[in-house]
Amino acid sequence: MNTFYALWGVKTPEEAMSQIEKQRKDAGITAPKNLEEQAISLVGKDIYEILIKGYTEKQWGRKCTELPAFIIQRLPVRFTFNNNYFNDIYQGIPVGGYNPLINGLLSGVETKCNTDFFANREYFERIADKTVFTGKIDEFYNYRFGKLEYRTVRWETEVLDCENYQGNAVVNYTEREISHTRVIEHKHFEFGAQPQTVVSKEYPSEWQAGSEPMYPVNDEKNNALYQQYKRLADDEPAVLFGGRLAEYKYYDMDEIIENVGGL
């Protein structure tokens, strides 16, 4: 509602809803041909142009008119003055960040870091009855059907000589003209009171060998390719394929933790 007020000066959910409804009708899109048309048909032109277009094009490195409509099934719009991005009851990160949590979970478990499964595949397959594989599924099968596409991001980090740079842990930049998508100010995750501040600008790009694959590109072409690999994986009783790279699916942290129970 704060956004709708800033956009249109509306103060009640009813006014905001009727503004969106009017823009949806004005657009007159019945069968969206691409992501742009789909988004406008869901939330109207203003929200699409100010909040979705530039951010999506930066994130995916593709124009919204060239992205398929089905990527966006729905665009959640919330008519409350609560500025939280998610509706979850509990939101946050573990005290001290994720390292203490992971260290605790793995305490007493033999762990090897910086060890590529593929560099010594035969050895790892020999020592285990069951393997949980969380790497790239196409690489697991030596790319036999072709390469899946992934997106990645890189960060430019700097220490600034001010106490508080942006007043929040994350600020999103939705406009196309600014090439980073987000600025992270790390101290705000744990209410830091240091005299200086560390800030990371996030730049999305296409994944290439040597960088870390982060997001699957779940368009029609890649999903079809993934299904070919999945058919092989379903027939692999000694290996459990889990996570965003092995299941070629976007997961948030809470979803991935829940998903582990199903493995």
d(CA 157, CA 165): 13
Sheet with 182-185: strands ordered across: 170-172, 182-185, 197-206, 150-160, 215-216
134 binds ligand FAD (CB under 6 A): yes
Q: According to CB under 6 A, which residues from 29 to 68 bind ligand FAD?
A: none
256 binds ligand FAD (CB under 6 A): yes
Which residue from 5, 8, 70, 117 is in contact with ligand FAD, where contact means CB under 6 A? 117
Which residue from 45, 135, 145, 180 is in contact with ligand FAD, where contact means CB under 6 A? 135
Residues ≥6 apart with Cβ < 8 Å to 240: 130, 131, 132, 133, 263
d(CA 10, CA 16): 6
243 binds ligand FAD (CB under 6 A): yes
Q: What is the phi/psi pair of residue 30, to 5°?
A: -105, -35
244 binds ligand FAD (CB under 6 A): yes
118 binds ligand FAD (CB under 6 A): yes
d(CA 173, CA 181): 5
Residue nearest to ligand FAD (CB): 243
Return the number of the residue (21 or 158) whose C-beta is nearest ligand FAD. Answer: 158
Amino acid at 65: T
Across the strands, what pairs with 172? 182
* From 250, 254, 255, 258, active-site residue: 250
151: annotated active-site residue:
yes
Binding site for ligand FAD (CB under 6 A): 116-118, 134-135, 153, 214, 243-245, 251-254, 256
